[in-house]
Amino acid sequence: MDREYRIIVTERIDEAGIQYLKEHAEVDIKYDVPYEELLKIIDEYDAIIVRSVTNVSEELMKAGKKLKVVGRAGNGTDNIDLDAATRLGIIVVNTPEGNIIAAAELTIAHILAISRNLPQANYAAKQKDFRRNRFNGVELYGKTVGIIGLGRIGSLVATRLKAFGMRVIAYDPYISDERFTKFGAEKVENLDDLLRQSDFITIHTPRTPETMGMIGKEELKKVKKGVRIVNCARGGLIDEEALYEALKEGIVAAAALDVFVKEPSYEKERDEDFDNPLLNLDNVIVTPHLGASTVEAQYNVGYSVAKAVIAALNGEITPNV
Ligand code: NAD
Ligand code: MLT
């Protein structure tokens, strides 16, 4: 053990990460700990390691009198109050590259699944219902996919969809023209152009006040009838109520969602508190925030975050957010 550091881990990370932490510090694992309980015990810890659920608020960090480091095993930091961390002198480290392949591949899987009705057909066939005429799909070849946010994951999605013979267009006002060219995407100047042209839309922006609800009721009036929409980024980027209506009206033919505004517990066998009408639609397929759930990605983010947190506690230079 380096020093007498205590670290709390509030969401499941790879065993390799836990082992590394235990070699250097005292570690408490409290998956799914309720916020109020965490608030009471956080002052015992020098560092906290989270994924996307734990609300690392200003209140929590203030209560963490000894808290020096917040480690995010994964990519998005929208559950951490970064401004407050800066004010309080708390270092935030994340692992932005570790799960991007996994997230991009899940997006491709979802695009294929909604183009060919795979989950619905799988379910029917297992019930011995082989009426395949109900599951006629569409091909990706020759279709236009609109990518919103051509960052780390969006660009991986772009190059993979090019291999399917798709026309790739992208909307991202914050990147250079060279980046569009590099990933074989045609730049569109505004979101409306993307909405009007796309047969498939996939969103890969961070969750910020600007991006929340960026596809809402008005935007869904502008899409091609029969568009298919995928969200493997963050819940709420596509307004859930507006999407529900558009799916019911057949404006959106199908949607694939890995993320929701409010997500259930990842630890309970069944979470009765999760009551989202989108789950009741046959043309919606869902996964339980699986974007980073591969053996490779979990090893990458679990081990990297553990190393980064220990390095930060020991005052070593570590890339931080
Ligand atoms: P990134 O920061 O590399 O890329 C985001 C891109 O979005 C940037 O290029 C940025 O310029 C662009 N952008 C920002 N605001 C925009 C706007 N208003 N309109 C258009 N483009 C905008 O992020 P990333 O690593 O590619 O991650 C993308 C998303 O995926 C994040 O929300 C992240 O949290 C999420 N994610 C989800 C999972 C999962 O398990 N489902 C896994 C990893 C990442
Ligand atoms: C991320 O932003 O890295 C993802 O949400 C994956 C996760 O933490 O589960």
Give me the pLDDT at residue 134, please: 96
Which residues surround ligand 1 with Cβ inside 6 Å? Answer: 75-76, 96, 99-100, 103, 148-154, 171-175, 204-207, 210-211, 214, 232-234, 258-259, 289, 291-292
Give me the pLDDT at residue 2, please: 55
Output the tens digit of pLDDT for each of the chain's 321 residues: 556 899 999 999 999 999 999 999 999 999 999 999 999 999 999 999 999 999 999 999 999 999 999 999 999 999 999 999 999 999 999 999 999 999 999 999 999 999 999 999 999 999 999 999 999 999 999 999 999 999 999 999 999 999 999 999 999 999 999 999 999 999 999 999 999 999 999 999 999 999 999 999 999 999 999 999 999 999 999 999 999 999 999 999 999 999 999 999 998 999 988 999 999 999 999 999 999 999 999 999 999 999 999 999 999 988 788
Give me the pLDDT at residue 1, please: 56
Is residue 234 among the annotated active site residues?
Answer: yes
ipTM above 0.85, yes or no: yes
Which atom of ligand 2 lies nearest, measured to the CA of 95?
A: 3
Is residue 263 among the annotated active site residues?
Answer: yes
Q: Helix H segments across the chain?
A: 15-24, 35-41, 58-63, 82-88, 100-116, 118-126, 152-162, 177-182, 191-197, 217-220, 240-248, 295-313
273-294 burial, b at 16+ Cβ within 10 Å, e below that, comes to: eeebebeebebbbbbebbbbbb
286, β-bridge pairs = 257
Q: Pick the catalytic residue from 44, 59, 186, 263.
A: 263
Is residue 289 among the annotated active site residues?
Answer: yes
Ligand nearest to the CA of 106: 1
Token pair 């990706």 is found at: 140
* Burial of 316 per CB tally in 10 Å (0-12, 13-18, 19+): exposed
Give me the pLDDT at residue 318, please: 82
CA of 200 to the centre of ligand 1 (A): 18
Give me the pLDDT at residue 179, please: 98
What is the model's pTM?
0.96
